[in-house]
Structure 1
Amino acid sequence: MRAFQILGRDAFNRDGMTSVWHANRFFTVVADPIIADVILKSCLEKDDIMKLAQLLTDNGSIFAAVSIWRPRRKILASHFNTKILNDFVSVFSKQSEILITKLKETLDRGSFSVWNYFTTYTMDAVCETSLGVQVKSQHNPDQPFLKAFEECCDLGSARMVQPWLHSMTVYRHLPQYKRYMKNKYFICDFIKKIVQSKRKDNELHQISDMNGDQYTGSDGVKSLLELLIKNSNFTDKELQEESVIMVLAGTDTTAVAASFTALMLSQHLDVQDKVYEELREVFGDSNRAVEPDDLSQLKYLDAVVRESLRLYPPVPVITRKVERDVALPGGVTLIPGCGVVVNIWAIHRNPHYWGDDAEEFRPERFLDSALKHPAAFMPFSYGPRGCLGYRYAMMALKSALASLLRQYRLMPDNESYATVKREPLRLKFDIMMKDVNNFRLRIESRN
């Protein structure tokens, strides 16, 4: 992660761009939103380095070639509408209540890592809303599906930053490859069985409708997978690929964002107090479940989440491949063959767009004024290939935090923290950006 930080600051002094060699590949590093806007709208193909992720995702649209991504995105986009997302809030609320219950065990333990609690929350919420299954990882943190995903992510990120492992000819002979594929087969077999089961359920629905019978299938909210089976012509293989993407993208990104936001609130108690006052205005003394209308009223909480995402975007960089000449502002032209790293971490801290206090955590900046450029804030990517699940992630995040902060006060891991100078968080990069100290904090009951 330190390399991205150094390159970002170097780009600030070079009109928003710098360059670097990664093994035998030349990359242009961008830290200016105006330049990033041009690149992310002109260069839609992911850089070849991202093909390493396809060992798990195959042709899942997030990493797929444009020819595969474009038609799939049109179908997927229609299933992230407001009505469907609002239906998911009941699931987020239910899983948040389990999260609150599980956190009770930490009340007398002092400092602890909140990471595993948010990871299991997001895994359960994502699997129920995306796949229509309850994996109950909050009740069992060693749940095999969760562990298989975690190990694939760890192995994949380690390979990505070690160029000598990029060659499949080399990698397939290493023990890491065998471990990776063992976990991949488990994940794919798990999802394949779910797809087949949901496909069969849909066929029974159709038969019941034809016969005028009342079908008593799965109750409650329809998952994205069930909706795709009903409304699209995706094959089982395509459904499996997109299901892997939904779980991969939905679990880690939301867990990282929630963990950083909780950490920031534990270190900025004045901000946390303002969030709590807003929650009291919306919910009063009630411990009722969060509803869709509540989320739209939580303006300050929304600003807090956005400020956390600005300083600590879960995916700190985006890579793209240049396939034709691309003229950039300032007279520079990118030529085919080079790669581009859009440094989101640096763009979000560029003082020209965020002011002299760009390094500070100040949620009010999202309430005081509009963005100076649309691409100055891109925590979930930007442009035609921007993340479809952005609103989904924000709703899952705010639902969990709204439930959590009504019950608990988040405190810094060190009791003397308030009397000493704050040090910048130490960060690491393993596909997602994470805290080196694993998001440690303390909680106190508000009752």
Structure 2
Amino acid sequence: MGLLVEYGDYILSGFVLAVIIRIFTSRKTIRRNGEALRTPPGTLPLVGNSIKFLQPRWDLLDWFNKCQCQFGYETLALTVPTFPSAVLIQDPRNLEFVFKNESLFTKGAFVKRRSWDLFGNGIINADGDFWKLQRKAGSAFLNTANLKVLTDVLLPRYISESLDDLHLSTKRDTVDLQHVFHEITTKLMGKMAYNMEMHADDIFSQSFDFASGATAKRFQNPLWLVTEYFLGSEFRRSVSAVKEFGRHIVANAVQGREEQTAKDEPTDPDSKVDHISGSLIRSLLDALGDEQIVADAALNYLSAGRDTTGQALTWTFYLLLQHPEAVTKIRAEVQDLLDQQMQQQPDSPSPTLITSSNLPILNADLTLFTPQSLPYTTAAFHEALRLYPPIPFEFRQAQADTTLPDGTFLPRHSVVMWCLWAMQRSQSTWGYDAEDFRPERFLVCDDEHQGQGQSQTQDDHLSENKKNSRHFAVGKSTSEFPVFHGGVRTCLGRKMAEAIAVQVIPSVVWGFDLEQGWEGPLEGRRSHTSLTLPMEGGLPVKVRRRVVD
């Protein structure tokens, strides 16, 4: 007994070392065309890439970017003691293969074991038929009729409320734009999907944000089972609060179900909102039945619809703060659209100061603001998505032996990882200016080949008539621009996110001048650890009313 006390630390260290050696020696070496894959910079004996994975989120993203800068499209071996055999794919051809073989590359035990506590049976974890049922319910919710109510009624209403708040904010030192945008997306999802009033600072939102961060750390911390056993009490409390809210969503839906189905076909805007409110939760109840599973599914969709769009808008405005020339172009685009409306409605008053009281001109009716009518604004949003993808990492697990297009052989249960953050900065895909914010790469002239995009030199020499005839086009495959994923799991909410963006961005940019509201360099904002890409500390800005000459 005395020896155990005296040498306990050494015995434990020896045991851990033996386990690590056992794991490494039993793991299959992944090869490409018979040759072992190269490893990323900083790979260490025994611990592999564990130290890198334990870095803060921002440093880890930077490391993945260095990998793609050094190795280009080459597939690399990832070695973390508690991971199965794993690879980092960087070639869009390999990612396309993963997208096209959904039944082969599933979330698998690797992902589900880490995300189960938070997401349970929801669509984020689901595979196969169970995933299809939830996907079908989500597709029914995001139909054309519902999106029209969102763009024509709900979204302008919530934007108007947020503009009121921003006008009041001109009297304060700073306002957090991330909170403003999350408030809009939270209210939208709460009303449309669940027929509930929700806000960004609800206890649920705070609990979910913490649980998301803790879940993300499970993918970075090889010893998460050990550390959570001793330090996971707050995570468990947060998950409990999230699950309780999920049950509340379902109970509220069940209670109001009969009343909702008995209503007549709506005619006025408010009755249209009432008619679609809660349509997602009703679809989930019809498709899944089991109320606990429905609660999991509801929470999954709430996270997807609330967080990613709000965060994407936050990073968009972060980039606009750094690029005032882009703000000028957005305003000019809006002005052109307003001028067109004035020609069609000559009796409409011309705005001088945009406030919520005369919003009718920006009223110009916000439904005029679409990806088609505001191509530069749409391009700026997608350029922000490219540089700051809301889901920076993705994992899949091979369910059978297979070979990637580049010749890499993957044994069954191998983990495939790709880092969107790094892939979207690849010069091989995006050119020499891949690190730069340049919305023009998503614009093409009407008489050009679809999807070619404009180079910086081409854009500088375009005539005004040419610039006015440009339209938005991604110009890349889903595996080259995988922000909305690809294959059968392509993001259902893409059109909703774009609709929100092209109304929110011009409304704020047209009505306000924004200035940096934090100390330090303008380029100094980072993301904290999460399953998505929230801005650490929010986006504090100084807000001033804009006077239009």
Q: Which TM-score band (shorter chain)?
A: 0.7 to 0.9
Query: Could you give the per-residue CA deviations for residues 307-343 of structure 1, whole angstroms, max 9, x where no partner exists?
Result: 0000000111111011112322222122212111121
Q: Name the structure 2 match of 1:314.
A: 390
In the alignment, which residue of structure 1 is the partner of 2:434? 358
1:168-187 superposed matches below 5 A: 171=229, 174-187=232-245
CA contact (8 A) 1:112 1:440 kept: yes
Q: What is the distance in 2 between the residues matched to 1:30 and 1:229?
A: 39
Look up the match of 1:71: 133
Please state whether the residue corresponding to 2:106 is helix, strand or coil. coil
Matched, 1:148 2:148: no
* Residue matched to 2:64: 7
Displacement after TM superposition at 1:344 (Å): 0.9
Q: Closer, same or farther in 2 for the Cα pair 1:437/1:146, shift >3 Å?
A: closer
Structure 1 residue 253: deviation in Å?
A: 0.5
Structure 2 CA distance for partners of 1:326 and 1:389, relative to 1, 3 Å: same
Closer/same/farther in 2, CA of residues 372 and 403 from structure 1, 3 Å limit: closer
The one-character-per-residue Cα deviations of 1:393-433 (angstroms, maximum 9, x if unpaired) are 1212222222212211233347997xxxx747544331112
Per-residue CA deviation, residues 45-67 of structure 1 (Å, 9 max, x unaligned), is 11434323332332111221223
Task: Say whether 1:444 aligns with 2:544.
Answer: yes
Q: Give the TM-score, by structure 1 length.
A: 0.86
Which of residues 53, 60, 83 in structure 1 aligns to 2:115?
53
Counterpart Cα distance in 2 of 1:414 and 1:341: 35
Unaligned runs of 5+ in 1: none
Amino acid at match of 2:135: R
Alignment map for 1:12-91 (pairs within 5 Å): 12-14=69-71, 15-25=73-83, 26-42=85-101, 43-51=104-112, 52-89=114-151, 90-91=153-154
Instruction: Deviation per CA, 1:14-53: give whole Å up to 9, x if none.
Output: 3332222234213211222121111222244114343233
Structure 2 residue runs of 5 or longer lacking an equivalent are 1-56, 340-350, 352-360, 445-451, 454-474
Task: Kindly indicate whether residue 196 of structure 2 is the aligned counterpart of residue 133 of structure 1.
Answer: yes
CA distance 1:283–1:153, shift in 2 (3 Å) = farther
User: How far apart, in 1, do the equivalents of 2:122 and 2:283 lie?
Assistant: 19
* Matching residue within 297, 314, 334 for 1:259: 314
1:99-131 per-residue CA deviation (whole Å, 9 max, x = no partner) reads 111122332444443222212221111111211
> How far does the alpha carbon of each residue in 1:133-175 deviate from its partner, in whole angstroms, 9 at most, with x for none?
223x2xxx6433333333332343344433323479x649941
Aligned equivalent of 2:163: 100
Pairwise mapping of residues 34-433 of structure 1 onto structure 2 (< 5 A)?
A: 34-42=93-101, 43-51=104-112, 52-89=114-151, 90-135=153-198, 137=199, 142-166=201-225, 171=229, 174-205=232-263, 219-221=271-273, 222-223=275-276, 225-226=278-279, 229=282, 232-235=286-289, 237=291, 238-284=293-339, 285=351, 286-288=361-363, 289-291=365-367, 294-368=370-444, 369-370=452-453, 371-413=475-517, 423=523, 425-433=525-533
Higher-RCO chain (CA-CA 8 Å, sequence separation at least 6) = 1
Query: Do the aligned partners of residues 171 and 202 (structure 1) sit closer, same or farther apart at CA in structure 2, a change above 3 Å counting?
Result: farther
Structure 1 or 2, whichever has the larger Rg, is: 2
Contact 1:195 1:240 (C-alpha < 8 Å) held by counterparts: no
Contact in 2 for aligned 1:20/1:29 (Cα 8 Å): yes
TM-score, normalised via structure 2 length: 0.71
Moved more, 42-51 or 299-308: 42-51
**How big is the shift at 1:348?**
0.9
Query: Identity, % of aligned pairs?
Result: 21
Deviation at 1:357, TM superposition (A): 0.3
Q: Return the alpha-carbon distance in structure 2 between the equivalents of residues 4 and 414 of structure 1.
A: 23
- From the superposition, tell whether residues 349 and 64 of structure 1 become closer, same or farther in structure 2 (CA, over 3 Å): same
**Matches of 1:416 and 1:432, distance apart in 2:** 24
Q: Is the Cα–Cα contact under 8 Å of residues 18 and 30 in structure 1 kept in the other structure? A: yes
Deviation for aligned residue 1:360: 0.2
Is contact 2:141–2:193 with CA below 8 Å preserved after alignment?
no
- Does structure 2 retain, via aligned residues, the 8 Å contact 1:114–1:441? yes
Moved more, 241-250 or 172-181: 172-181
| 1:379 to 1:64, Cα distance in 2 relative to 1, 3 A | same
Aligned length: 431
Once the two structures are superposed, what CA deviation does each residue of 1:344-397 show, in whole Å capped at 9, x if it has no partner?
Answer: 111111101100000000000000425354321121222211211111112122
* Aligned-partner Cα distance in 2 for 1:224–1:381: 27
User: Bigger CA drift: 42-51 or 81-90?
Assistant: 42-51
